[in-house]
Structure formats: C-alpha cells, structure tokens
Amino acid sequence: MKSQLMEKMAGEITLSPVPGKTMRKWREDFQVSQQDLARHLGISPSVISDYEGGRRKSPGIRTIKRIVTALIKIDEERGGKKIKQFTVGEESDAILSIREFPIGLTFDSFLGLIGGKVVTPNCEMKPDIHGYTVIDSLKAITSFDSRDYMKIYGWSSERALIFTGVKFGRSPMIAIRAHPMKPAVVVYQRPEHIDPLAIRLSELEKVPLIKTDMHLESLVEILEQRADRYFNTSSKS
C-alpha cells in the first residue's frame, strides 16, 4: 500500500500542468515544512520554495521520486499517521463519490463550483481544498464504524465532506466534533433544515458549514469533472 501511495503522489506531480503547486499540496497534506523537507533532501529551503512557486524549472522524475520518498520517510519517523490515513482500504457503501483535486481549489472557487452558501460566516475560510467526499448521511449513521470514518478522508483531510439526505444536520457535526481529524469544510446538499446546534458546532470546531441546493447527480458530475480535468488535459497534450 505504501508503494501505491508513492506512485500516486509521484504520478500526480509529474502529470500536473503546475507540478510545483501539486508538490506543495502533498507537502502540506503530510504537514511537512519546507525547511524539514529541504533538510531531508540536503538542499536549501529556497529550492523547495522556488519549485512550488514556479520560479524554478519543474523537477525531473528522479527529483520528484526523492521528494516523495522524503515525505514518506518523515511521516514514518513521526509514527506513520499520514501513511495509515491514506491507506485505509476500500470505500464504504455510504461513500457516493470520493476524489482528489491535483491542484488545490481556493475556498471561493469551491464555493462557486457547487453554488454554495456559507451558513457560518464567523468561521475562518480555509486557504485550499484538496479533495471531496460525498456521503449518504443515513447510511453513514446506520453503518459507519471508526474505520469507515477514516475512509471518508481519502488522501487528504484538507477536503470537503459533502453530506446528502440531511434533515437537521446535527449528526454529521456531532461526529466531526467527536473525532480528532477535521475536514476543511462541511457541505449539506439540499438540507431540509439546518439546526442551530449544527451551526454552533461548526463554529466551535472552526470548520465552515456550507449548504448547496444543487441536485446530487449534477453535484457529483461537476466535482468529478473538476477532479479529472487536469489529468485529461495533460494526457491530450
């Protein structure tokens, strides 16, 4: 599983039209500073900064492999928390769609993409959203265990958790509050009503809460197209 993760990371960086941004996405997902990564690679932090900022020519395959290997090694030295998160196994029946964005979306871009409205304006908006998971709320409530909860985070916790079939919205936010891992944002798809408790929990956890009236099929289609767009563009070039 670790080798598959490394292949995915290297593949995303190599195929990305902006490798530096995708490299930064993975470094931030692993919660590694530019200084720590540079130290493991034996180079100056400015080199990492130049790669990520697009000021230096895109790294070759060998350099990308070294960067990926260093991120994995740093995480192993910290107990392998991120590796375990990224290799949790098969998807749950409650997960309707799960994808990663090769290049992180800004909060405003994501909001516009799903036609969303923020219902907790006092929460700090996250700088980048790296993926999404669409979850059937009823199935999640009736069938999720602790391992299933880890699966919804896919390859990155900096993602949007999108809940369908929401009546009041209390249960998803209670589950998020009870777990140490937090998403970048929570989205309720066509909720019947959003309980004040859900809004309060969102504010306490500092996780912005969004609602969208987009139909489920359209929502999944537009998100999947966005996640696939960069790779489709690269394969045709």
Q: What tens digit of pLDDT does each residue of 85-94 get?
A: 665 554 567 8
Mean pLDDT estimate for the chain: 85
Among 227, 156, 166, 226, CA closest to 202: 166
Q: What's the rounded mean pLDDT across residues 158-182?
A: 89
**Total tally of structural domains belonging to the chain:** 2
pLDDT tens digits, 124-143: 776 789 889 999 988 887 76
Looking at the structure, tell me whether residues 75 and 97 fall in a common domain: no
Q: CATH code at 55?
A: 1.10.260.40
Paired sense of beta strands 116-118 and 129-136, if any = unpaired
198 and 102 both lie in a single domain: yes
Q: Which domain holds residue 48?
A: 2-85
The confidence score (pLDDT) of residue 157 equals: 80
When pLDDT is cut at 50, 70 and 90, the band that residue 233 belongs to is very low
Same domain, 115 and 228: yes
Residues 94 and 66 both lie in one domain: no
CA distance 148 to 151: 5
* 188 shares a domain with 153: yes
Where is the domain boundary, 85, 100, 122? 85
| Beta strand ranges found along 94-236 (DSSP E) | 95-105, 116-118, 129-136, 160-164, 185-189, 209-212
Residue 128 and residue 214 share a domain: yes
pLDDT at 29: 86
Domain edge (last residue) among 69, 85, 101: 85
Asked whether the whole model's pTM tops 0.85, one would answer no
Distances (CA, A) of 66 to 1, 14, 27, 230: 18, 13, 13, 23
Whether residues 125 and 213 share a domain: the answer is: yes
Yes or no: say if 22 and 102 are a contact pair by the CB < 8 Å rule.
Answer: yes
Residue 101: predicted pLDDT: 85
Is the domain of 119 the same as that of 78? no
Specify which of 41-55, 100-114, 218-232 reaches the highest per-range mean pLDDT.
Answer: 41-55
Residues 44 and 161 in one domain: no
Give pLDDT, residue 44: 94
